[in-house]
Amino acid sequence: MSEHDDTLRKTLEEVTRLRFERGESLREVAANEYSGHLRTAERIYWGYGVACVALGVSAINFFVRSFDLKTLIGCAVVLLVVYETTVLMKLWFATARMKMDVLKEMKLLRLEVAGIGGATGVGHLSQPPVRYEPMRGMSPWERRFWLAICALTAIGVSSWTSSAWFGGGPPSTRTLVTIAPDGGAEKQYAMERPYAGYFLPKGFSLYTAKDTKARVLDPTGHEMPVQLVVTDTNNRYDVTFTDSVFDQGKMRYTQVLDIPKAARLEDGVWTYEEGMHHVGFDTAYSIAVLLPPGARLLSTDPTAAVEPQDDGRTRVCFEGTAKDNKKYAFTVRYELPPASDNKE
């Protein structure tokens, strides 16, 4: 072989190599382009999945808690729409993936045909330079990330809708206890809590000792309908809410209890005890105890704010926040002047 033939052979090999590298580069660009489109489609699919999870959890939460027919029908419609949306999104993603696969393969096929046509007579280009590989979408780590987002969305939406169902805020209570010289007391227990309009409560049951009389007042001071049921151990008052209880997103009412012998006398010292136990939520409280006129305060447990009143009474006030499922006890000890003791 002459020197000229050898130079021509090397030139052709170099041209073939450059053409092959250029074809590989074009094929890689084409494959990456359609893989990017597939990843975008998969992210859209997961985004719709997160939205469907949020709507589905909300609808389920409202459906299982509601007794209102319109709310039940609305939740059922939302659940059907969410289900159909998930099915349609699966079909859309499958169609988009198949379309990207076909377009990618057609693009690669065109590149191969163009390469083979431009290198006719070159031996190693007679075989397809690349083999079929399925197009890759998102990485496994990104799929796990979207699964975690779906789980966190379900938890967050469930908590939020539960809070919205019960009014979206903690309740607060204010208690005023007025103690008489004979140890009896009138206890006014004012309740205020947010509510949601999905399902308004109709009322509640109040249990008291047999010697205790109870009334329940609305915010205007009128008594609400109460049905008394006497049992072997206590009295049960079935209270029916009136419309005036619900106002501007707040539910307000006051329990008034007439308790004989609320305070007990031992060795000349009167002791009044109050307890509190809330379950399910933290509750801000304020308990004010008005001692009988002329009474001398001895001690409180825990420490409380003390304010003398113009009518000769002493006001003892406990304030704070009651933690969930924790019992609290409040104790006030006082003495009455001799004249009051003689009257008894």
Q: How far, in Å, are 45, 85, 307 from residue 148 at the CA level?
A: 15, 21, 55
Q: For the residues 18-35, what does the mean pLDDT come to?
A: 61
Whether residue 263 has pLDDT greater than 70: yes
DSSP label at residue 223: B
Lowest mean pLDDT among 180-184, 204-208, 212-216, 279-283: 279-283
Q: Are 236 and 228 in contact (CB under 8 A)?
A: yes
Tell me the pTM: 0.54
- The SS3 assignment for 87 reads helix
**Which of 68-77, 86-95, 161-170 comes out lowest in average pLDDT?**
161-170
Give residue-wise pLDDT tens across range 132-168.
455 566 777 877 888 888 888 877 777 666 655 545 5
Half-sphere exposure of 151 (CA within 13 A, CB side): 6
Phi then psi for 59, rounded to 5 degrees?
A: -65, -40
Q: Which pLDDT score is estimated for 331?
A: 94
Q: How far is CA 97 from the centre of its chain?
A: 36
| Residue 101: pLDDT over 70 | yes
pLDDT mean over 101-126: 61
3-state helix, strand, coil in the chain (%, to 5): 45, 30, 25
DSSP string spanning 128-141? Answer: -SS---PPP-S-HH
Q: How confident is the model at residue 29, as a pLDDT?
A: 62
Give the tens place of pLDDT for each residue, 297-334. Answer: 999 998 899 999 888 899 999 998 888 788 889 999 99
Burial status of residue 43 (CB atoms within 10 A of its CB: 0-12, 13-18, 19 or more): middle
Q: How far apart are CA 77 and CA 63, in angstroms?
A: 11
Range with the poorest average pLDDT among 22-26, 27-31, 70-74, 253-257:
22-26
Least confident of 73-77, 104-108, 133-137: 133-137
Residue 128, pLDDT above cutoff 50: no
112 Cβ neighbours under 8 A, 6+ residues apart:
23, 128, 129, 130
The C-alpha atoms of residue 329 and residue 277 are separated, in whole angstroms, by 9
Task: State phi, psi for 33 to the nearest 5 degrees.
Answer: -60, -50
State residue 341's pLDDT score.
45
Domains and CATH numbers, the chain: 3-165 (no CATH), 172-343 (2.60.40.3140)
Check whether 42 has a pLDDT greater than 50.
Answer: yes
d(CA 113, CA 106): 10
